[in-house]
Amino acid sequence: MLTADPNLLLDELIGASIADFDVPRNVYERAVDRYDALGNWLAEHWSAHAAGGAVYPQGSIRLGTMVRPITEGADYDIDLVCRRDLSKESTTQHGLKADVGGAISAYVATAPDGDPRKSEGKRCWTLDYPREPFHMDVLPALPDIDRPPNGIVLTDRDLQHWQPSNPADFATWFYAQMERELAETRAMLAKQMDVEDVPTWYVKTTLQRTVQALKRHRDMYFADRHEERPASIIITTLAGRAYPGSGSLYEMLLTVTEKMPSLVERRDGVWWVPNPVQPLENFADRWRRKPGSDRNFFEWITQAQQDFAAIGAERGMDRVLGKVAKSFGEGPARRAGASFGVELADTRDRGGLGMAAKTGTLGAAVTRPIPKHTFHGDAPERP
């Protein structure tokens, strides 16, 4: 139910806008069914082998931070790990990929639900579902014996070297960052829904919404330069580290976005965003191979800071929605406004907004100086 508090109204408006580009529940559930079916089939397929395997989700579908693609007709990208329980000495990068690819071909040949089609990427295999709004990228991996039980090693894009990773423990770390809010929100929803346990995927914390907001803003900012976008894992990691643990959605959006640039490290002339659960993995390693990636990130995050600050600085519902539209798109802003327009009008008629109704203000009285970035590894300059 909507509140007459203008600051909370702003939170609800932003939250409704972000929820508009969240993955729909029915799409999420079908995606889970599809990757469960693949994982169960492969487990049975490899059951007679000395070395088994496992399939599990990684990335945004596991973290609750998926966002709808801004391109009409584009698919949701579901990322999966396919771990084969082999030693590095028993296979090669090419051999591992071929092994997993052969198993996926055998699965496709059984004509499973959704009628998936297999195609090949540089490091992964893709399952396209013709009648679904998503595809699945299946990344072959091996156990990392130096970091049991969840550490894995992946191939690089050239299939030459093993790269350490740990998406399972990363997910655990990410959820630990918002543990208190997650527990409180689940408990509150459990009372409202009259159930004992609310599924984790049903809950959206302010950290998850903030990551979704950042990813949506990034997609719009780089709409014509898709390949120059900062990676989602960098955004998620920095946001998770910057998240203070509690606060309103809009306040967290400002706080997290302001702090993120200072968390990008500079080590011996190399940009680093270390994996918090696998320090040897640098999520910004691609920046070395793609000149200008660092500048793209810092210019974008500065624009995000300015755009998010502008939302709360505006007066009047129309102008606030206009700033929301600039950050998240016209569709989410329009539908969010329409979703509580009648209740907002009723509240104003009753004088529930008090001074805010007279001045036309809808938003938090928050202003933040925007740090300037040098792009050379120096700390951001503070005005």
What is the average pLDDT across 299-328?
A: 89
Q: How far apart are CA 22 and CA 28, in angstroms?
A: 10
Q: Which residue has the higher pLDDT, 33 or 361?
A: 33
The percent of residues above 70 in pLDDT, for the chain, comes to 85
Helix (H, G, I), strand (E, B) or coil at 265: strand
Whether 372 has a pLDDT exceeding 50, the answer reads: no
Lowest-pLDDT range of 92-106, 109-123, 293-307, 346-360: 346-360
- Report pLDDT for 5: 61
Average predicted confidence (pLDDT) for the chain:
85
Could you read off the pLDDT of 201-249 as tens digits, one per residue?
778 999 999 999 999 999 999 999 999 999 999 999 999 999 998 889 9
β-strand partners of 78:
136
- For tokens 């989410």, the residue is 332
Whether 53 has a pLDDT exceeding 60, the answer reads: yes
Lowest-pLDDT range of 46-55, 111-120, 224-233: 46-55
Q: Which residue has the higher pLDDT, 117 or 245?
A: 117
- Report pLDDT for 348: 35
- Report pLDDT for 234: 98
Which string of DSSP letters, residue by residue, matches 45-77?
HTTTSSS-EEEEEETHHHHT-----SSTTPPEE
Q: What are phi and psi of 325, to 5 degrees?
A: -65, -35
351 confidence band (pLDDT: 50, 70, 90): very low
- Report pLDDT for 368: 46
49 confidence band (pLDDT: 50, 70, 90): confident
- Report pLDDT for 341: 61
- To the nearest 10 degrees (0 to 180), the angle between helices 6-20 and 317-328 is 30
Q: How far apart are CA 23 and CA 69, in angstroms?
A: 10
Could you read off the pLDDT of 239-281 as tens digits, one per residue?
999 999 888 999 999 999 999 999 999 999 999 999 999 888 8
132 confidence band (pLDDT: 50, 70, 90): very high
Domains identified in the chain and CATH numbers:
6-22+173-359 (no CATH), 25-165 (3.30.460.10)
What is the average pLDDT across 319-324?
A: 86
What is the average pLDDT across 336-343?
A: 64
Whether 196 has a pLDDT exceeding 70, the answer reads: no
Whether 1 has a pLDDT exceeding 70, the answer reads: no
Local structure of residue 24 (DSSP, 8 states): P
- Report pLDDT for 375: 34
β-pairing, 134-143 vs 76-84, is: parallel
What is the average pLDDT across 299-316?
A: 92
- Report pLDDT for 223: 94
- Spatial contact of 100 and 39, defined as CB atoms under 8 Å apart: no
